[in-house]
Structures are given as structure tokens and as C-alpha cells.
Structure 1
């Protein structure tokens, strides 16, 4: 079989495709024929050396994948050969409170940019009916992160999303499916039209309106109930302006970078809740797959690349002009 490995982080020149021996599942394990994987900003950060954690030597990258079980080891009852499955972001976090020491793909474990992978059956979730492998692969990180960021949102709530990356697009779709009103920000008229087509009720161009947090607040009677904060230090001040007293700012990512200051008094006076979101557990992913199957939600795919052209997929993501998820087809 073929796999990609990274001899040293810091440059995509170190990402190489190599021949490897087909792995055999042991007790409690299954072998997955990987059919598609989805890229995240995290993957780009890992490969380019920007991620603030050590990376496993000579690692196989990527955390998100979908495929079908093609071999089963002893004592496996969770899946049978032919089952369609998706990876769970944390292979050992099955539910309950987050354990900071939980292992992650591309850090402590080889990831999914490979043709076949052996994993514990407990680290997988059944793929929702009606989704292609490419669509199912998007749920592992971006889908479940948006799901976790929206936990507790009810019909009639107002949700603010930022941009058109994978998490933000999922947040628009999921919030609308939950019955919420959505205010979205973006950087162009074309993307604004696409966000409205997905269900966004109001769209603010943050390049034109740099005080978009105040604008979002003014569109409501008291502010928004939930912000899916993906920008980080560069956008948090505007999120605080938008939030309603008692609302929640779900801290998802830092696409705008880690540098910047926080106005503590503005945070204090907002009377809001600031909740860090760490993707989600296997239980969270299972809840999401059931919701997707029940509602018929279709993940948005920006582009597809072949397995042999995985580097181009990563470079495309790095240009930061995507609308939805970037996929590698295996």
C-alpha cells in the first residue's frame, strides 16, 4: 500500500509518498480501506511547524477520514467487513469530560493520509446513510467542532458565525437545522450570496464593516446568543461587542493568529460565557451523525484532489480562499 509520511515538519517538501506493508488487524482492531480524507487548518499548521505541540517522528498526517472495513481482527463486534466508517478525532476519547492527555492523530499516532489503516474498532463511528465517503470525512473535525460549539442552541436563538471555513459553514447549516437565526460574516459579495443560499439570515462583509460586532448586535434586540469564534485574538473583540448578556462565545480556533490582546474589562462587562471547544468525543460525533441522517444535511465541499496530488490540496487550503472542505480522494 501507499502512505504519505513527513520526515520533518516545517516544509511541504518533506511530505513524501512511500510504499508500505499492508497492516494486519489484531484483537479488537479493524483495517479500514481509506476512501477519502478531509483537510483542516490544524493539518497545515502541523506540516508547516506552526502547531504548538511536538509531532510524532516520520508521521502520517491528517485526522479526518472515511472508508470501509475490509478486515476484522479477533473479538471485534462493533463492525463487520463492508461497514462504512469515519474516524473519531480523538481515538481514545469516547465520552465524558475532555482529558488533556488524550492521544491525537499526527501528534502521538500516525494519521489517515494512507490507503489502509488499522485502528481499534472503538476509534471509529458508523458513517451516516446518504453521505458519500467525501462528505462523511468532513464530520470528524469540522462537523463535530461546530456541533460542540452549538451545544445548547435552541430554536429562536441567534447565532453568529465567522467566515467560510469548514467549521463556520457547518455552524451555519447546523444552526439553521436547529431552528436558530444566523448572522454570518464574510469577505466578499460572492461568499455572502453562498452563505444566504445555505440559510444565513443576515451577512456582514467584515472587510467593509470593520465594526461588524456592533452591526451584528444592532441587528438584534439584545445581542446574539452564541458566537462560533474561529478567528481568535484578531476577532474576539468584535465577538464581545456582538454577544448578548448571558450568551456564549465558543472559542473554536485562531485562524487570524495567536498574537493580540484581550480587553479584560470588555469581557467582564459582557456578562457572557467563554467556552473553549476541543472538537468533540466519539459520543459527540455519534450524536452528530444521527442528526445529519435525520435532517438530511449535506456537508459543503470546496474541492476534491487525488491521493497522488495531496500536496496540492494542502497548498490550496493554505491559500485561505476556500468555501467548505478540501478533500483528498484515496
Structure 2
């Protein structure tokens, strides 16, 4: 198979101009090393983290300029001479932190994020170490599989990384962002009860269609944490909370959590104060845990579960082309989306 020598890609040139720091350019197709695979990317998706990087608001390591994006899926078109795990034609999705293979993340692995420290997925081709990609679920297409790298794996880690979710337990998911929607589906597949929060009747209907057992409108019920607690058996509280880091959400999460429950923090959406209610963890006897995506081992487990239960991501109706990626950033920043913002790559 003859491969092109040049490609289109989006480069983050710096952090001084916001989304104007995103440059659409021609570039060489990257060369593969001995242990690398070359992937023809067919899909990508955006995360809140992608919006923060060009604005200089991202808190994790960066090495700019860098090809943007962490989430991608495609077909392997070439392999290095030492590659043993893959062959041309294999369909794969990218691993977020390329160095996080199994177990707990360490400092070295935290510096291997795609689209931050290593060239990412907003391009026609990408080169990754053979351990930096995972077989994509057989029940998904490329655009769907391109949403798994960050949001899906983060939610899987939240539910299974510290204290594994078990059938009959209760999970509280906040809002309708990508991580929360994946967590809802993973929890239902595990036989858990799901309580979801949202801000509108329209979104509540979607959450119910995805399987939420209870939906609370947090605009109508400012004490939704106590309401969630009352919905659990004997009013003891929920075992897992997917905490999105919104204003005042931690207070409500602490009101909802069960003794010895786990609150997994997966983002900082609207200026949450990390000092709020820290001492309340003692009275609640709970664990508050920051989650930084997950490992290759966890992603492989997640893929198997998605196939077993035929789980599909929630993708926004508006799918962008690679040329329109900057518009996709602006669309997501304006909060016009529901579910994952996806990009189809030709």
C-alpha cells in the first residue's frame, strides 16, 4: 500500500491567542520507529481539556507546539519492524497517557498525554507506540470509538479503579457531560442504580432513556445531594459520585455520599473551591479521589464490557470535519453540544 508523504493537521502553536493558537497546516506524515504503528485516523473527539490548553488554563504538563487532540480511532496502515501486537488493517483507538500501561499512574506517565506532551489525533495520520493504542470495540464505528480515549476511560476508572462498582450499588452522576453519560451507561450495565442530575426537562428525558433510575433537576432543587441520599436504601447514601467540579457541587456530593463511599473528581468546570468542606470528609468517612483518565489495562477491560453490553457513546448530532475542528472547539466552548463533540477525518 502506497502511503502519502504529507497530511493535514491542527497544531497548537502556543497559549497566547486562545483558539487562534490553533493552526491548520500541511505537514509530513510522521515516520514510524521500530516499536511504532502508523494509524490512518478516521475519527477524533474533543474534551474540555482540549479547550483549556490553547487558552493557557491546563494544569498538567505541556510541550508546545504540539498536534492537538487526545482522542482518536482509525486503522493501522504500517508497523515498525519490532511490533508484535498489531498488523496492518487492525482497528484501534488511542490511549490518553501513552505511558500509563497498568496500575497507578506515576509522574513519568503523567507526562505522556496525547495532544499535550505527545503529538495528538487532530491529523490524518498519527504514529503511536504499539502499547499506545487499544483494539477498538467491534460494535462501534470509528467516530464512536474516537470518543473513548478520555471521557469513557475516566468514567471507567472512577467506577472501577479504586473500589470496584458492584451490582445493587448506587451511583450519582452529575450533568450530561461525556464522563457522566459514560458512567451512567457503565453503571447500568453493572446492575447499579443511577441517580442523575441535570438542569432541564429535555436533558432529563435523555438521561431516563439512557437508563437513569432517578433524575433530579438541580436548578429546581438546590439541595439535590440530600434528595439523592433519600433515594437510596434506608437513606444511607450513594456508593459512588462522579463529581464534575462545578460551583457548589462538592457540598452536595458530600451530602449524598454513603459512609466509606468514593467521590471521584473528574474536572473543574466552574470554579469550585478545593478548600470547601474538606473536613466534612471526616464526618462522612468517605474518600475523595482525583481521576486522571486511566491505564491501557483498564481501557482493554472497558472495551470488553462495551462489547458485551453493546454500549454506544452519546455523540452530539453535529459532527465536524477535520477542516472544521476550530469550529468544533468554539461550538463546545459555547456549550451547544450534548454528549461528545466528534470529528470525522477523511
User: Which of the five TM-score ranges fits, normalised by the shorter chain?
Assistant: over 0.9
Q: Is the 8 A contact 2:171 2:239 kept in 1?
A: yes
* Further displaced range: 104-113 or 169-178: 104-113
Q: Counterpart in 1 of 2:13?
A: 7
Q: Counterpart in 2 of 1:68?
A: 75
CA gap 1:271/1:260 in 2 versus in 1, 3 angstroms: closer
Equivalent position to 2:149, from 140, 147, 152:
140
For the residue of structure 2 that corresponds to 1:261, the secondary structure is: coil
For the residue of structure 2 that corresponds to 1:98, the secondary structure is: coil
1:182 equivalent in alignment to 2:188: no
Q: TM-score, normalised by structure 1?
A: 0.97
Number of equivalences: 330
Q: Distance in 2 between matches of 1:97 and 1:146?
A: 16
Q: TM-score, normalised by structure 2?
A: 0.92
Which runs of structure 2 are paired with 1:26-45 in the superposition (5 Å)? 26-45=33-52
* Further displaced range: 248-257 or 113-122: 248-257
1:156 equivalent in alignment to 2:171: no
Unaligned runs of 5+ in 2: 1-6
Q: Counterpart in 2 of 1:273?
A: 287
For the residue of structure 2 that corresponds to 1:160, the secondary structure is: strand
For the residue of structure 2 that corresponds to 1:86, the secondary structure is: strand
For the residue of structure 1 that corresponds to 2:66, the secondary structure is: coil
Which runs of structure 2 are paired with 1:162-241 in the superposition (5 Å)? 162-220=174-232, 221=234, 222-232=236-246, 234-241=248-255
Summarize deviations over 1:192-219 as a string: whole Å, max 9, x none.
0000000001000111111110111111
RMSD of Structure 2 on Structure 1 (CA): 1.3
1:121 equivalent in alignment to 2:113: no
1:301 equivalent in alignment to 2:315: yes
Q: Is the 8 A contact 1:161 1:171 kept in 2?
A: yes
* Further displaced range: 310-319 or 255-264: 255-264
Summarize deviations over 1:171-229 as a string: whole Å, max 9, x none.
11000000000000001000000000000010001111111101111112211111011
Summarize deviations over 1:228-263 as a string: whole Å, max 9, x none.
111256310100000111211112111222446312
Q: Distance in 2 between matches of 1:124 and 1:54?
A: 21
Q: Counterpart in 2 of 1:24?
A: 31
Q: Distance in 2 between matches of 1:259 and 1:157?
A: 29
Q: Counterpart in 2 of 1:242?
A: 256
For the residue of structure 2 that corresponds to 1:37, the secondary structure is: strand
1:95 equivalent in alignment to 2:95: no
Shift of 1:54: 4.9
Q: Counterpart in 2 of 1:107?
A: 116
Runs of 4+ displaced beyond 6 Å: none
Shift of 1:108: 1.9
